[in-house]
Amino acid sequence: MLIIADTSPLISLLLIDKLYLLDELYGSYCIPEAVWQELTSHNAISTYKSELEQLSKKIQKTSYQVFPINGIDIGETECILLYKELQANYLLIDDKKAREVAQWNDIKCIGTLTVLYKAKEKGYLTQLRDLFLKLLEHKRFYSKLIMNFFLEQANEKLL
Q: Where are the domains of the chain?
A: 2-112
Q: Distance between CA 55 and CA 48 in Å, rounded?
A: 10
Give the pLDDT of residue 68. 67
Give the pLDDT of residue 67. 73
Amino acid at residue number 100: E
Q: Distance between CA 51 and CA 14 in Å, rounded?
A: 8
For residues 2 and 29, is the Cβ–Cβ distance under 8 A?
Answer: yes
Give the pLDDT of residue 149. 98
For the question of whether the overall pTM of this predicted structure is more than 0.85, the answer is: yes
Report the Cα 14 to chain-centroid distance in Å. Answer: 10
Q: Distance between CA 1 and CA 16 in Å, rounded?
A: 24
Give the pLDDT of residue 46. 84
DSSP per residue, 103-157: HHTT--EE-HHHHHHHHHHTTS-S-SHHHHHHHHHTT----HHHHHHHHHHTT--
What CATH number labels 2-112? Answer: 3.40.50.1010
| Residue stretches of the chain with pLDDT short of 70 | 68-69
Give the pLDDT of residue 44. 82
